Structure 1
Amino acid sequence: MQQTGHYGAALVAYAPVGFVVAVLLSAELAAVSGFVAIGLSVLPDVDMKTARIAHRGVTHTVHFAVLVGVILGLTGILVGVQTNFGAPFVLGSLGLVIGTIAVASHIAVDALTPMGVDPLFTGNRYSLSVTTAADPVANYALFCLGVTAIVLAAGLASVVVA
């Protein structure tokens, strides 16, 4: 998929997390976390910028998703320790979840295309062949679905908190 589709998929995956963060922690942290998820959602395509890594190879695996989650989780712990922004465990846990779901959403959406993905890096590709990666209708539909999910999550959170 293209960036637009990946942004939408990340928003769909993040919406339930954002709801919980907004209700239990703060709307501001939920918003910042959402932008981080959007930014990380295209990270697996870094493989397109180098000839050393095959496209939809190692960066499109569950292993990579967990690695990104662990790195973001450790970053959250450091932020919590170095500042009064939040409890280290909470920020670390949130980082782990955001990093993992951002990359996992990318992998899931790429599985919709004929090229598919090898999520376990075993040599077995999986593809639902629903749409091509360049299909603008599919990409914008995913984006609209993501925006709708995040708006509903934010609206519901504001009602619960009020």
Structure 2
Amino acid sequence: MYRLGHYGTALLVYAPLGLGLLVADLPNLAVLGGALSLGLAPVPDYDQRLPLVSHRGITHTFLFAGVVGGVLGGLGWAVGASTDARSAILLGAFGALVGTTSVLAHLLADIITPAGIAPLWPLSARTYTLDLARADNTLANYLLLGLGVLAVTAVAAVTPIR
């Protein structure tokens, strides 16, 4: 998918997480998580800018999702540790979850394309695809964007403002 499709998928995948944070009365984290999800949406495609790294290679794997989640989790823990242990745990878990799900959302958007992805690398080089739409399919990209915006709007609509 292209950037708009990845943004939409990031919002769609993040919406339940955002809802959970709002229900837990953590609105600042809910908004921050949405912003992080959008910011991380294109990260796996940065492989196109790196020499010696193939597109839809290592950056399109569960391993990479775990690494990004680990890095954000560590950053969250470090920020929270400056306050107290509870904050360190909360922000560490938050960072890990947002980082991991953001990359997984990207993989979901790319698995629908004919090129697919090899998410199990390095355990397996097998490529998986649903072959539903080409990455450059304008309708598919806008549909994903619309679904993501709809999901986040629905979360905002059903969550009371305190």
Q: Extract unaligned runs of 5+ from structure 2.
A: none
Alignment match, 1:146: 148
Alignment match, 1:28: 28
Aligned ranges for residues 9-158 of structure 1 at < 5 Å? 9-83=9-83, 87-121=87-121, 122-158=124-160
Question: Offset at 1:28?
Answer: 2.2
TM-score with structure 1 setting the length: 0.93
CA distance in 2, matches of 1:123, 1:67: 19
CA distance in 1, matches of 2:13, 2:76: 20
CA distance in 1, matches of 2:81, 2:25: 17
Note if contact 1:111-1:129 (Cα within 8 Å) is conserved in structure 2: yes
CA distance in 1, matches of 2:125, 2:149: 34
Q: How many residues are aligned here? A: 159
Equivalent AA in structure 2 for residue 12 of structure 1: L
Any idea what the Cα deviations from partners look like across 1:75-113, whole Å, max 9, x if unmatched? 1111112257x7110111011110000000101110000
Question: Offset at 1:146?
Answer: 0.2
Equivalent AA in structure 2 for residue 132 of structure 1: R
Note if contact 1:18-1:154 (Cα within 8 Å) is conserved in structure 2: no
Q: Extract unaligned runs of 5+ from structure 1.
A: none
- The runs of 4+ residues in structure 1 deviating greater than 6 Å are none
Equivalent AA in structure 2 for residue 32 of structure 1: L
Equivalent AA in structure 2 for residue 146 of structure 1: G
Any idea what the Cα deviations from partners look like across 1:131-153, whole Å, max 9, x if unmatched? 00011110011001000001111
TM-score with structure 2 setting the length: 0.93
Note if contact 1:60-1:119 (Cα within 8 Å) is conserved in structure 2: yes
- Taking only the aligned residue pairs, the percentage that are identical comes to 38
